[in-house]
Structure 1
Amino acid sequence: MIRRLIDRLSLYLPLILMGFLALGSWWLVRSMPSIIYADENKPVRQEPDYRLENFSVKSFDTTGRMTREVMGDKGRHYPDVDEMHIDHVRVYAQSDTGVKINAKANTGVATGDGERVTLLGQAVAVRAADANAPRMALRGERLLALVKEEKLLSSDPVEITRDKDVFNALTMNFNSKSGEYLLDGRVRGVLAPKP
């Protein structure tokens, strides 16, 4: 009789174990709802989620060559817009073709992916001289750098110094790959005589 009872229980043992495992899984899911069911309507915080002081962020290409460095005295990341606001920003960039640009401004705003950097307040960007183009300096109150496209844009008045030539314009679109710039609005230029 006991043998028969043990045989019957052994038939139902896998079913009983599966029931306990299912009950344990259900309890685990119910006890951790905040991880599994995150509230998608929860507002994103508008205060900075982290701060940096006297920092430097470097980017490298696949060969290990440094392509970009962003430095600042203070930085604050805002998660609601995924932007980094930087005080006394300094940027160094080098393109695939070897074009080097150094830029600085009172403040800077960089997107989370690093593809757009806006320089605000006494912004200066300098393209170093190379075999294809002379030294060029761009000055304005607001410069927008599109990193992937290697462009500098400004919708505010700018001053461009190209070697000894000086140009002023209301807006600018500068392509650092080709060294070409499109000036719009009221454009004035002073061309220095060639020796």
Structure 2
Amino acid sequence: MAIYMPLLMMGALALGTYWLVRNTPIFGAPEVAKEASHEVDYFMRKFTVKTFDEGGQLKSEIYGIEARHFPDTDVLEIDQARIRSISVEGRVTNATANRAYSNGDGSEVQLVGNAVVIREASKDADGKETPRMEFRGEFLHAFLNEDRVRSHKPVLLIRGTDQFVGDTFGYDNLDRVADLKGRVRGILVPRSAASAAGLPTLTVPADPNPAAKPAGGDPAVR
């Protein structure tokens, strides 16, 4: 017994160590966070996305044939987009385009191809009426929460019955100022003649720099 006792103790110790290893939980090394790449992480087809404020009131509604989301920029790329935005004061703005690029909360939208932004007529707190505003061009950058629209490409502005065109364009509704530059032309129609037939109309001038990218570069990776 004295001779074999050390061997028995070593065997028991080995078995105990084996049991301890088998039953000890193994915690894997923490995974390294993957850097977001400019690849689509999800898409939607024939969809409608609505956003609401803290009180449950509708702020914006976006519809499209197909949309692709890029996680690295949190940009939603939308085909055949239709957008409706309602300000805190209740002013309604509608926008359409062949393609749109919207940020995460829908407050900023870049419209590309047959872009149209329409701001319906409204009245301020003093009862002063603002006529219907319409903007047309191949590129429009709309800041919906700030009531601003701008473009580095030619735009047609229709304000009531008046029309203006320019090579570049900016509009701030808070200041009620439209800034057109380049080859600017306009048609002012008296209210008495607004219903007359055959009134002249303006068209969007040719883009003097058609190869130029939207302001800020490719909107999908902005």
| TM-score normalised by structure 1 residue count | 0.77
Structure with the larger RCO, 1 or 2 (CA within 8 Å, 6+ apart):
2
Q: Which amino acid aligns with 1:176?
A: N
For 1:81 and 1:188, how far apart are their aligned partners in 2? 38
For 1:126 and 1:119, how far apart are their aligned partners in 2? 13
3-state DSSP of counterpart to 1:62: coil
Q: Could you tell me which of 33, 39, 46 is aligned with 1:47?
A: 39
Listed as ranges, the gaps of 5+ residues in structure 1 are 1-19
Q: Could you tell me which of 105, 129, 139 is aligned with 2:121?
A: 129
State the match for 1:85 in structure 2: 77
Q: Could you tell me which of 149, 165, 174 is aligned with 2:162?
A: 165
TM-superposed CA distance for 1:178, in Å, is 5.0
TM-superposed CA distance for 1:177, in Å, is 4.1
What is the number of equivalent residue pairs in this alignment?
166
Query: Which structure has greater strand proportion?
Result: 1
Computed over aligned residues only, the root mean square deviation of the Cα atoms, in angstroms, reads 2.1
CA contact (8 A) 2:156 2:165 kept: yes
Query: Which structure has greater helix proportion?
Result: 1
Aligned-residue sequence identity (percent) comes to 36
State the match for 1:60 in structure 2: 52
CA contact (8 A) 1:143 1:153 kept: yes
Distance 1:194 1:92, change over 3 A: same
CA contact (8 A) 2:60 2:106 kept: no
State the match for 1:149 in structure 2: 146
Q: Which amino acid aligns with 1:89?
A: A
Moved more, 177-186 or 49-58: 177-186
Q: Could you tell me which of 177, 185, 188 is aligned with 2:185?
A: 188
Listed as ranges, the gaps of 5+ residues in structure 2 are 1-19, 124-128, 193-222
Distance 1:179 1:65, change over 3 A: farther
